[in-house]
Structure 1
Amino acid sequence: MMKKRIQQIAMLCSASFLLLSGCGAKETSKSEGNKEKTYRIGVTQIVEHPSLDEALKGFKQALKDKGLSVSYDVQIAQGDMNNNQTIANNFVSDQVDLIFANSTPSAQAALNATKDIPIVFTSVTDPVGAQLVQSIEKPGGNVTGTTDTHPDAIPKTVQFIDKYVKGNRVGMIYNSGEQNSVAQVETVKKAMKGTDLKIVPVSVSTTAEVKQAAESLVGKADCIYIITDNTVVSALESVIQVASDHDIPLFAGELDSVKRGGFAAYGFDYYDIGYEAGEMAVQILKDDKKPSDLPVQYPKKLKLLINKKAAKDMGIELNPEWDSIAEYIE
């Protein structure tokens, strides 16, 4: 009788132990299920300059604001196309969750490396012409993002030059190897139709050639217009120096170049288009959206920014008419 009683107690204890063990296992599983995922994002950027750097800041802030835990691997190609492709290939080998491509060459290299990993770009001038997407509305494939081309930016700049600059020769320095730059030059030519403005083009391949290119425009150009060309913008200070020394108005394609010493630009904050790209990345990573579902986004804001100090350095007299259409910085 005693032996049977002991067996019953043992069985009861064993059952209780199993029940507690099961509860513990279930609790552990729940804890593991609630563990926040850390997404791995590879960032590829062709060069370092203020506009691209601001775009990256905006991208990171968007993901932070949405509460995502992210591990970033930021790689700068230093303007070298071989490095550019190697960076993209390495991200694919590492099987990152998403690639953030900051510039046209960076996005092209990423797409060349993978058709499976989602790619979000920014600072891309002509996504369709660069063969990154099928169309703005329906990107297709594994790529989408934000473009740094506001439809009105170049036409308004050309109109301003035509109305307020003495002379009709517009010097343009650009890297003919950058597809985004070639596309912008063609847009400038179209915007000039109906005016007597004409382009004086100078092509460069590296940043080391930019100063000499700027010097070659002295006496040949009545103003200089630097579009969003990564090679030239990386060496912008040399162009600013030439323009200041020879009283040549220097127009730019984005606001950061005006803050660095350019005279004027119709533009927007690259931080904003980076932020918008970050919001798209959140939809892909967190909401299971596909890049093909997300149309390419244009910049939402456009403004004219004029640098008063640069105007003085370049011998430009400020026009009261500009007060109602421009923002000024000293």
Structure 2
Amino acid sequence: MKWSRAFVGALAAASLALAACGGAETDPEETAAPSPGNGEAPAEATIGIVNLLSHPALDAAQAGFIEALAEAGYVEGENLTLDIQNANNDQSTLTNIANTFASGDADLFYAIATPSAQSLAQVITDRPIVFAAVTDPVSAGLVDEWENPGGNITGVSDMNPMDGQLNLIQEVLPDVQTVGIVYSSGEVNSEVQVEQAQAVADELGIEIRTATVTNSAEVQQAAQSLDVDAFLIPTDNTVVSAAESVIQVAEQKGVPVFASDESTMERGAAAGLSVNYTQQGKDAAALAIQLLEGADPASLPVETQKEFDLFVNEAAAEAQGITLPAEVIERSAKQF
């Protein structure tokens, strides 16, 4: 499906000025990819997908996207062609993928994680881009506003509730004074989360201590440098890909790890409020289908998840020197 020359021109002229605004909330349990509005089989479509790197959360966002497309009648090998690329967390690779996509003939692009979306946005203005696993698309320079993106890009945010996470930490550790966050200095999404955590922590009387990394190999040393009562792993792709390094240090120090995605809880974090990344992909697919059927991304609001599942890992908590309160375990959605 191709856009008209007039519409392409309008999108190319759209600015990406930054303006803070509230996002459109959707219930992940209720959102589903729509079937084509005319009741007929979907037309053929070609979609370029770029994933920042392979780790369980981002891979789930990719799988959920493809699954929801198939449920709506866009089936790979039949009426859907997918060009799936993985940048392996390398910026030069991302740039090459974006340039290749820009010179290709795909109808739409799906970017998983903030750096992926930023790379595509720099070179593609004539066709729609849908993102997922992007924390703050305004701060990342991807959209003008949450409600009115203003250009050729929209998608689904994985903004994690820092107030909820720190309240959970305080519930588990009533005497907590310091929380350590290791994050990537190259990910805008992580900087936003750290700023939010610091603001909430000030109100709770907690000190946030941070250490930055540039790649996953630096995560263990960064964690070791922090003398804290607990660790919090945000939705930082570099750190999540090396979450075992933080968990190993935490076990040595005898302090718990709290996380922001289900896969990290399963891999050994004690507890946390999790973004549903499979649903992120499905919600992104719902937006993509609307765009393929002629919707304008400039006025299609960025969606956010408003319900977050509490996951706990009792064995991991014990290995890290704590016992989770019975109240926390009882209200958890899943236990590992």
SS of match in other structure, 2:102: helix
Contact kept, 8 Å, 2:151 with 2:298, in 1: the verdict is yes
1:127 is aligned to 2:137: yes
In the aligned structure 2, how far is the partner of 1:67 from the partner of 1:247? 51
2:297 equivalent among 291, 309, 314:
291
1:273: how far off? 1.1
Contact kept, 8 Å, 1:254 with 1:265, in 2: the verdict is yes
Aligned residues: 292
| Percentage identity across paired residues of the two chains | 39
Structure of greater relative contact order (alpha carbons < 8 Å, 6+ residues apart): 2
Contact kept, 8 Å, 2:271 with 2:312, in 1: the verdict is yes
In the aligned structure 2, how far is the partner of 1:323 from the partner of 1:48? 30
1:144 equivalent among 148, 154, 171:
154
1:157 is aligned to 2:165: yes
TM-score when normalising by structure 1: 0.85
In the aligned structure 1, how far is the partner of 2:318 from the partner of 2:186? 34
Given the superposition, is the C-alpha separation of residues 35 and 183 from structure 1 closer, same or farther in structure 2, using an over 3 Å criterion? Answer: closer
Partner residue, 1:266:
273
Given the superposition, is the C-alpha separation of residues 70 and 316 from structure 1 closer, same or farther in structure 2, using an over 3 Å criterion? Answer: same
Q: Which moved more, 1:43-52 or 1:158-167?
A: 158-167
Instruction: Report the structure, 1 or 2, having the larger helix content.
Output: 1
1:191: how far off? 1.1
2:55 equivalent among 40, 49, 60:
49
Contact kept, 8 Å, 2:52 with 2:112, in 1: the verdict is yes
In the aligned structure 2, how far is the partner of 1:67 from the partner of 1:163? 46
SS of match in other structure, 1:180: helix
1:77 is aligned to 2:87: yes
1:36: how far off? 6.6
Partner residue, 1:195:
204
Partner residue, 1:180:
189
In the aligned structure 2, how far is the partner of 1:223 from the partner of 1:104? 27
Partner residue, 2:219:
210
Runs of 5+ consecutive residues of structure 1 not aligned to the other structure = 1-33
Partner residue, 2:18:
none
2:251 equivalent among 239, 244, 249:
244
In the aligned structure 1, how far is the partner of 2:201 from the partner of 2:302? 27
The letter for the 1-side match of 2:172 is Y
Given the superposition, is the C-alpha separation of residues 36 and 51 from structure 1 closer, same or farther in structure 2, using an over 3 Å criterion? Answer: closer
Partner residue, 2:111:
101
Partner residue, 1:28:
none
Structure 1 or 2, whichever has the larger Rg, is 1
1:303 is aligned to 2:312: no
1:37: how far off? 4.0
Given the superposition, is the C-alpha separation of residues 296 and 185 from structure 1 closer, same or farther in structure 2, using an over 3 Å criterion? Answer: same
Contact kept, 8 Å, 1:92 with 1:117, in 2: the verdict is no
Partner residue, 1:112:
122
Partner residue, 1:10:
none
In the aligned structure 2, how far is the partner of 1:323 from the partner of 1:209? 33
Contact kept, 8 Å, 2:270 with 2:314, in 1: the verdict is yes
1:212: how far off? 1.1
In the aligned structure 2, how far is the partner of 1:270 from the partner of 1:301? 12
Cα deviations across residues 111-134 of structure 1 (Å, max 9, x unaligned)? 001111110000000011111011
1:326: how far off? 2.0
TM-score when normalising by structure 2: 0.83
Runs of 5+ consecutive residues of structure 2 not aligned to the other structure = 1-39
In the aligned structure 2, how far is the partner of 1:206 from the partner of 1:116? 33
Partner residue, 2:180:
171
In the aligned structure 2, how far is the partner of 1:45 from the partner of 1:328? 27
Taking only aligned residues, the RMSD between alpha carbons, in angstroms, comes to 1.6
